[in-house]
Amino acid sequence: MAMSSGRSNQEIVPYSGDLEVPVQPVDVQRQDSLYLDATRPAHGGHHAGRDSWLRTLRLGFQCVGILYADLGTSPLYVYSNTFKYGIGHEDDVLGVLSLIIYSFLLFALIKIIFIALYANDDGEGGTFALYSLISRYARVALIPNQQAEDELVSSSSRHRKPSAPFRRAQWMKNLLEASKPAKLTLFFLTIFATALAISDSILTPSISVLSAVNGLKLRSPNLTTDQVVWITVGILVAFFAVQHLGTVKIGYTFAPIVVIWLLLISGIGIYDLIKYDVGTLKAFNPKYIIDYFRRNKKKGWVSLGEILLCFTGTEALYADLGYFSIKSIQLSFSFGLLPSVLLSYIGQAAYLRKHMDMQYVPNAFFNSIPSTLFWPTFVLALTTSVIGSQAMVSCAFATMSHLQTLSCFPRVKILHTSSRYSGHLYIPEVNFFLCVASVIVTISFRTTGFIAKAHGKKMHGRFFFPFTYCFKSQHKHIISILNYVYLCTEICVALVMVITTLLMTIVMLLVWKVNILWIALFFAVFMSTETIYLSAVLYKFTQGPYFPLAMSAVLMVIMMVWHYVHVKRYKYELQHTVSPDEVKTLLERHDLKRVPGLGLFYTELVQGIPPIFPHLIEKIPTVHSVIVFISVKHLPIPHVDVSERFLFRQVEPKESMVFRCVARYGYRDTLEAANDFVATLVEYLQYYVRDLSLYCTAEPLRTSYPSIRIDSFSWDKKHSGHGSGIHAEEMLTPIQSFSELTMHQVGMSSRLGIFQPAKMNLEEMLRIEEDQKLIQREVDNGVVYILGETEVVAKPHSNLIKKIAVNYIFNFLRKNSRKGEKMFSIPRGKLLKVCIAYEI
């Protein structure tokens, strides 16, 4: 995305001190230094560091409360659903148990926990993170997403003899970059999986809470359907109302409940295994799977759609990686969730082998527990079922954050709820949308009859969820609701599984560059098995699980339209970025009037001057005496010290007093009030003016400030033998006093050849002081905040679909998304909006 302007001839490697030094020359395009430095903190390190065991255990405990309630409650309904037509043969129980064991181990443990978690984009997981990762290694994103570090690695690797994995990666890269259909297909699959995940985030709270509330009928059998629905609505509102507390507080609150639940079901499983049939352990022999399909044929294949429910929630677990760490999830899953859930399945299977009558099957879990533990188990089941929604809600927050990264969704406010963990997110707009959508879904299911029509005679009066054994005939409508929503969930899970495998295969080829045999094994095993599961789920598509696909279609339209217009606007602005010569010509126009005051021109473009600036001068040839183009950049660290916040560049000619500036914030930093922001900016702008003159000499100087990363600067070939230089206009703003600079240089000059500040005469010092006073005087004359507002319209001869997408859908979304003046707290009395229309 950065614009290139020249060539650099040296590769940068880490140095033991604060600076970085050059080594062997490589052919690397020079990047815009302001753009690169805007994307990283001054000292370059990541805030997280290496995980300590205490931190890992703390995160592992939170994992239990956030991620595992959904997976932990699956033993309540998998058998009931799989055998809803009855158990035909005693060994069918062993066949289904064997399928559950190996499906859970294969898809949850091996694929997600020990493979997919490592395919993350800077700690973020999920299908959109996979797409973002791929787009950094191959130009498949419609907006470039490569990082400077990726370019350096790619450039240096060209000087080595390519290995077979590297050649395959290059082949895959060329294939993806050269084929526009491949790019569009990759993007389509990604946003489809993302839309399915968000749709599932709407369905899961509704189904979890609704089914849990129905369990109250054991104590209050007179509860009506309307009362159940409105109690569900109340709990949903309360559930979403506490989301602003953040992952840490919610995790610590929910985790003890889920831990007790997992210990309880594992204990019950051991009890059932010993009491009823220890021989159930034979299910670890996969031959029972073959026997099961041989006996049941088509019915066995269709039942895979219900067995799939044993690992629903793994896709949310992967997407929620950013909230935790790989090690914490692996430990808590392997030693907490996995043994508990498998023991529960084994115990129920032992019970069912001795109780094959249909009267025992729908309530297998509760029938199998000791009578003295019934009520504690029931209360915990209710509570844990409600908590099971948390993983999908957190998944929605993480997914929306990914969408913002590649500009695939209108701007929303993202809050980071923890200063320790960058992935702990809360998005008010998304939380409100999920709450309203879940409530609407719950209420609309109560008042519409399309669900019963979709199921027709396929309904048998009982549902497979934990509490439905207490249902009576008058509650068949709620049973239809629950059946319908679970069919929707199966569709979402199966499709996301297949798309994840496709993207993972590309990552293995392109990014990891692993042995081709491992890639072939991964693809063959997972694609073949997941396709079989998907076919079983799609077979039931005629029963009416249209809601997730309809919801996904709406979300995909929003994402595609927003991304399409954003790409077109980005390319337009990049092509029309004002060059330095054009800026100089504009500022030296004879009819251009300079009015008193400071003009702060907000722009998203970091690389240069946006095209809206000449548009302003053309329409109104008047600008302020001092102009600062400001781009606000948020970095993936919790805080940026105010001394490192502002980066400046001066625009030629220097007498025009026009500057480019990037204001960098951490994700826990809040934007200051307008007056405080201006006061701080002006203070550091005056430092920059002073230091620009101090270090501006005929020869390029090399400086040594802690806030400098030399690798992003322009290196001069003629100095490569004895210390290269950087030009003054490429310097970052030093914040130390003159004496601090001198002390720092004394310690470094002997080994790095750092020059002292240039000697200046009295006239030059007075000029610096006059420039600083000029800036302060113009601030006193008044500050005007200039905000560019772009209106994008389709060209007159565009087709109808494009006109609808751009002129109506996009503009509707833009007008109803967050506005810049609200984000920057700009006072309305000092706001000047400059509008420009782009025809695409």
Q: Which residue type sits at 480?
A: S
Mean pLDDT of 334-355: 94
Q: Name the strand (E) or helix (H) holding 366.
A: helix 364-368
What is the pLDDT at residue 509? 92
Percent of the chain with pLDDT strictly greater than 90: 18
Model confidence at 17: pLDDT above 90 = no
The model's confidence at residue 759, banded by pLDDT at 50, 70 and 90, is low
Model confidence at 42: pLDDT above 70 = no
Mean pLDDT of 393-420: 80
What is the pLDDT at residue 667? 61
Q: Which residue has the higher pLDDT, 15 or 795?
A: 795
Model confidence at 654: pLDDT above 50 = yes
Q: Which residue has the higher pLDDT, 516 or 787?
A: 516
Mean pLDDT of 738-758: 41
Question: Are 532 and 382 in contact, with CB atoms under 8 Å apart?
Answer: no
User: In DSSP terms, which residues pair with 834 in a beta bridge?
Assistant: 788
What is the pLDDT at residue 603? 82
Between strands 622-635 and 658-666, the pairing is parallel
Distance CA(819)–CA(824), nearest Å, equals 9
Between strands 783-793 and 658-666, the pairing is unpaired
Going by C-beta distance under 8 Å and a sequence separation of 6 or more, which residues neighbour residue 218? Answer: 378, 467, 470
What is the pLDDT at residue 636? 61
Closest to 321 measured CA to CA, from 332, 312, 335? 332
Q: Which residue type sits at 742?
A: T
Q: For 605-632, what is each residue's pLDDT tens digit?
A: 777 788 888 888 888 888 888 999 988 8
What is the pLDDT at residue 58? 87
Q: Is 631 helix (H, G, I), strand (E, B) or coil?
A: strand
Q: Is 596 helix (H, G, I), strand (E, B) or coil?
A: strand
Half-sphere exposure of 109 (CA within 13 A, CB side): 18
Q: Which residue type sits at 224?
A: T
The model's confidence at residue 770, banded by pLDDT at 50, 70 and 90, is confident
The model's confidence at residue 113, banded by pLDDT at 50, 70 and 90, is very high
Distance CA(818)–CA(307), nearest Å, equals 43
Closest to 154 measured CA to CA, from 133, 134, 175, 170? 170
What is the pLDDT at residue 445? 64
Question: Are 615 and 834 in contact, with CB atoms under 8 Å apart?
Answer: yes
Model confidence at 760: pLDDT above 70 = no
Beta strands in 382-455 (DSSP E): 415-416, 425-426
Least confident segment among 145-159, 536-550, 687-701, 761-775: 145-159
Here the tokens at position 223 are 């509860």
Q: For 536-589, what is each residue's pLDDT tens digit?
A: 888 876 655 577 778 888 888 999 998 888 888 878 877 888 888 888 888 888
Q: For 197-222, what is each residue's pLDDT tens digit?
A: 888 888 788 877 877 776 666 667 77
Omega of the bond leading into 653 within 30 degrees of 0 (cis): yes
Q: For 273-319, what is each residue's pLDDT tens digit?
A: 999 999 999 999 999 999 999 999 999 998 998 898 888 888 888 98
Going by C-beta distance under 8 Å and a sequence separation of 6 or more, which residues neighbour residue 574? Answer: 3, 607
The model's confidence at residue 465, banded by pLDDT at 50, 70 and 90, is very low
Closest to 473 measured CA to CA, from 486, 483, 489, 462? 462
Q: How far is CA 254 from the centre of its chain?
A: 23
Model confidence at 356: pLDDT above 80 = yes
Model confidence at 412: pLDDT above 80 = yes
Question: Are 248 and 62 in contact, with CB atoms under 8 Å apart?
Answer: yes
Mean pLDDT of 459-484: 43
Distance CA(10)–CA(724), nearest Å, equals 10
Q: Which residue type sits at 443?
A: I
Q: Which residue has the higher pLDDT, 145 or 823?
A: 823
Cα–Cα distance list, 73 to 188, 269, 467 (Å): 33, 14, 12
Q: Is 641 helix (H, G, I), strand (E, B) or coil?
A: coil
What is the pLDDT at residue 20? 37
* Residue 2 DSSP code: P
Cα–Cα distance list, 328 to 108, 323, 333, 698 (Å): 15, 10, 8, 56
- pLDDT, averaged across the chain: 76
Question: Are 642 and 680 in contact, with CB atoms under 8 Å apart?
Answer: yes
Distance CA(138)–CA(175), nearest Å, equals 9
User: In DSSP terms, which residues pair with 839 in a beta bridge?
Assistant: 793
Residue 15, sorted as left (phi over 0), alpha (psi -120 to 50) or beta, turns out to be beta
Q: Which residue type sits at 402?
A: H
The model's confidence at residue 749, banded by pLDDT at 50, 70 and 90, is very low
Closest to 112 measured CA to CA, from 491, 501, 423? 501
Q: Is 634 helix (H, G, I), strand (E, B) or coil?
A: strand
Percent of the chain with pLDDT strictly greater than 70: 74
Residue 458, Cβ density class (10 Å: 0-12 exposed, 13-18 middle, ≥19 buried)? exposed
pTM: 0.73
Question: Are 466 and 160 in contact, with CB atoms under 8 Å apart?
Answer: no
